[in-house]
Amino acid sequence: MNNFTDEVSTTILIAALLFIAFGKLKNESPLTGKIRMLAFYGSAIITWASTVLYLALAVLPIATDTKSRLLDFVSQAGAYFTLNNFLIPIALFIPVFWYFKRKIKQEHQLKQLYLLPYMPFNMIGKWGTLLFMLFFTVSEMFSTKYNIYSDISMLFPAALALWTCSRERVENEVLFEIRLRALQISFLAHYVLFVVLYWLVYGWDYFDALFCSIISMQLIFLVVFYWMKYKTSKQNQLVEAA
């Protein structure tokens, strides 16, 4: 009964926050819509950065065999952080949105968010992500025993964050608009997928699903972003050919 109550309450909470995030204001304007997309991207970047920081602090005492009260506290808070990580992006969106709305009064004030340089961060993120995915694939194919919470697994979100938060080789305003739209789609898809898994998965598989929810939004974003980028490129080629 308690599990059912938790599932219902969590689903209602996520649905309510999504309605707030995606619902139009009473006096919605085109500028407000762009600010909303910017807020989605801003809250996602803050979430990814804080996740990488936490995971780095969690791995540090294990990797260096260092013991301290502060590091022990960070390590013990890991389970709580993982359990509630799924709420961080949507909870951050609300204050970030209203901050941008108060600050940005005209469209020319809309500025691109800071992105890490293409070299070396984009390449490190891409190769790191591919290597981690290859590692997980080989582990599953050959039934290699590994702990999803091991040091190497905890570095996977860092590789994804470098990729998603770094510039492309050619970065322009059109690509930035694609980033915003792709993040908005991945934001919604991430929470729909999480709610489905929340109802279907139990036991230790559920904790694995919670860990995967830390990286799911970034993975969905990359797929949507590069698909939209490819689609826009094809459309531009057709226009030039005509």
* 11-25, 61-75, 114-128, 176-190: the lowest-pLDDT one: 61-75
Which residues, 6+ apart, have CB-to-CB distance to 182 below 8 Å? 221, 224, 225, 228
pLDDT band at 226 (very low <50, low <70, confident <90, very high): very high
* 15-29, 101-115, 156-170, 182-196: the lowest-pLDDT one: 101-115
Per-residue pLDDT, 225: 93
Please name the residue ranges forming H helices in the chain: 2-22, 30-64, 69-76, 78-84, 88-103, 123-141, 151-154, 156-164, 173-200, 203-241
Per-residue pLDDT, 46: 84
Nearest Cα neighbor of 100 from 108, 109, 91 is 109
Given a cut of 80, whether residue 222 has pLDDT beyond it is yes
Gap between the Cα atoms of 239 and 106, Å rounded: 31
Per-residue pLDDT, 62: 57
Gap between the Cα atoms of 42 and 39, Å rounded: 5
Q: Give me the phi and psi of 172, to 5 degrees please.
A: -145, -175
DSSP string, 81-132: HHHHGGGHHHHHHHHHHHHHHHH--SGGG--PPP-B-IIIIIHHHHHHHHHH
pLDDT band at 131 (very low <50, low <70, confident <90, very high): confident
Which of 85 and 1 is assigned the larger pLDDT? 85
Given a cut of 70, whether residue 145 has pLDDT beyond it is no
189-205 pLDDT, tens digit per residue, is 999 888 888 788 766 56
Given a cut of 80, whether residue 129 has pLDDT beyond it is yes
Average pLDDT on 44-71 reads 69
Which residue type occupies 138? V
Average pLDDT on 163-184 reads 87
Total count of domains within the chain: 1
53-66 pLDDT, tens digit per residue, is 776 666 665 555 55
Per-residue pLDDT, 223: 93
Residue range(s) defining the domain that contains residue 74: 2-241
